[in-house]
Amino acid sequence: MVDKDYFVEREVLDELRLNEVAQEGKWITKPPVRERVKNFFRCSVPRLKRIVGSWVPILGWLPQYSLRENAFGDLFSGLSVASLHLPQGMAYAPLAALPAVYGLYTSFFPVLIYTIFCTSRHISIGTFSVVSMMVGSVTVRLAPDQNFLVNGTNGTTVNSAARDSARVQIACSLALLTGIFQILLGIVRFGFVVTYLSQPLIRAYTTASACQVASSQLKYLFGVSIARYSGPLSLIYTVVDVCRMLPKTRVVELVVVLIALAVLIGTKSINNHFKDKMIVPIPIELILVILATVITHYAGLIDKYGVTVVGAIPSGFRAPVIPDASYFPSIAGDAFSLAIVSYTINIALAKTFALKHGYKVDNNQEMIAVGLSNGIGSFFFCFNVSSSLARSLVQDSTGCKTQVTGVVSSIVMMIVILKIGSLFQELPVAVLAAIVLVNLTLLFMQFTDVYTLWKTNKIDMVVWLVTFACTILLNLDIGLAAAVGFSLFVYIIRSQL
C-alpha cells in the first residue's frame, strides 16, 4: 500500500492555460537586458554595505567581535604564532637569497593585510619554505654572484651589498606581479582552478620542493662555501659541489647543526606526544634562537672558530618604495607559477580548518586576499608569502578564534623589528639551517604517498612520480609547467577512455 502523502497534486496545463497563467503574472520571467543592466549599476545603502562587506570581510565580523569569548584565545594564539614567525622569518629569507631582516618584514606587513581581506579564521600567512625557495631561484638567476665580482687587495670578491640590493628589488617586483596576477584571477572568479590541480600533483610538487630546499641547506650543514645554482639540474650540481667540498667541512658548524637538530627533533617529539596535556607547545625554535645567539656571543665562536652568523639586522622600517616594473617581462612566468602555487597551498589549508570548525571560505576572496598581501607587501620590501602548515597548526591548537590572532602576532613582530631584531645579528646561520630542515619533516612524510597510490590508483602514482622527477630535474618553475602539462594529458586520456 502506497502512502498517499508521497503524492503532490499538480495542475496540468494546456496551451490555453499556459497563456492565462503567464498573463496573471504567476510565473516569474527574466526582466529585459536593459533593466538588468540598470539594476546592476543601481546603488543603495544595503547593496553598498553588502558589496563592501564581501570585499573587506573584516568589516563584517569585527563589529560583532566578542571580547569575552574570543580575546584570550586570540591573544594567546597570537603570541604563540609570533614565537614561530621570528625564527622562521629569519630562516626562510636566505632561501629567497635575501638578508634575514626581509624575512622579518615579510612576517609583519602581509599578515596585517591578510587579516583585513581574508575569509579564513585559522591559517597563518607569512614566509613559507617552498615559496621562498621559488623566489630564491628567480633572484639568483637574475642577479648571480658573477655579476657583482670586484677586484680587491685580497683578490676577487663579491660585492655583497650591491648584490643584495639587486636581489631585493627583484624579489619585490616578483611579489608585486604575483599579487597582480592573483587579484585579477580572483576578480574574474578563477578560484575554481584549484579543482583541476590534482592532489598527487600538488603533494609531489611540494615534496620535490622540500628536496630542493634541503639541498640548499647542505652548505650550512657542513660549513662549506659553494655557488648557488638555478635552472635545470641545479639540485644535482649543488649536491655534487657539497660532496666535493666535504674535506673542508667546518667541524664547529657541523656540531652546532647536529646539536640544534637533536634539540629541535627531541622537543617537537615531546610536543607531539603530550599535545593533549600541554596548554601550549614548547616554543623551541624561539628558545633555540635566543640560546644560540647568547652562547655564540659569550663563547666567542665568531672570533675563535669563524662561525658564520646572520650579520647586521637594521632596526626600524624602511620607507616604502615602488618596485621596479622593468623586471616584469623576465619574471612573468615565475610570478604566475608562484601565484598558483601559493594560492593552492593557502586554499587547501583554509578549507581544511574551515571544515574542522564548521564555516566556509570564499575561494576567490582568498585569492584576492593573498594577492593583496603580496602586492601591498612588495612596497614595504616583502617577498612572496603563503600559509604555513606548522604555524597554522600551532595557531589552531592554542585557541585561535578569529584573525585577531594575526594582529597580535604582527604587533609582536613590530616590536621585534623596531627594538629587538638587532640583538640576533650573532645568530649562527647553521641554527637557521637546522630550523629549516626540521620544518620540512611534514613534507618529506609525503613520500609515503607512492606506496598508498600504488595500492589504490596507479595512474595517480605515475602523475606523482612524473611531477616529482620533473621538479627535481628541471627546477621549480619549469618542473611545475611540465607536471601540469603531463597531468592535463593524463586527464584527457582518461576522459577519452
Helix segments in 274-327, DSSP class H: 284-299, 301-305
Nearest to 339 by CA among 450, 194, 439, 198: 194
For range 269-282, the mean pLDDT: 83
20 φ/ψ angles, rounded to the nearest 5 degrees: -65, -45
pLDDT at 55 exceeding the cut of 90: no
> Given this model, what pLDDT does residue 127 score?
94
Task: Convert the pLDDT of each residue in 286-333 to its tens digit.
Answer: 999 999 999 999 988 888 888 889 888 888 999 999 999 999 999 999
Greater confidence (184 vs 25) lies with: 184
pLDDT at 6 exceeding the cut of 50: no
pTM of the model: 0.85
Nearest to 477 by CA among 338, 350, 348, 366: 338
pLDDT at 8 exceeding the cut of 50: no
Greater confidence (171 vs 152) lies with: 171
Q: How many CB atoms lie within 10 A of CB 267?
A: 18
Task: Convert the pLDDT of each residue in 372-423 to its tens digit.
Answer: 999 999 999 999 999 988 899 888 888 888 889 999 999 999 999 998 888 8
Q: How many CB atoms lie within 10 A of CB 282?
A: 14
Strand partners, 125: 387
**At CB < 8 A and 24+ separation, what contacts does 291-296 make?**
292/256, 292/260, 292/427, 292/428, 292/431, 293/423, 293/424, 293/426, 293/427, 296/426, 296/427, 296/428
Query: If you ran DSSP here, which 8-state letter would residue 12 be given?
Result: -
For range 97-116, the mean pLDDT: 94
Q: Which of 32-41, 80-89, 148-157 shows the lowest per-residue confidence on average (mean pLDDT)?
A: 32-41
* % of the chain exceeding 70 in pLDDT: 89
Query: Can you tell me the distance from the alpha carbon of 168 to that of 380, in angstroms, rounded to the nearest whole number?
Result: 11
For range 253-280, the mean pLDDT: 89
**CB 56 within 8 Å of CB 66:** no
> Given this model, what pLDDT does residue 336 score?
92
20 — pLDDT class (breaks 50, 70, 90): low
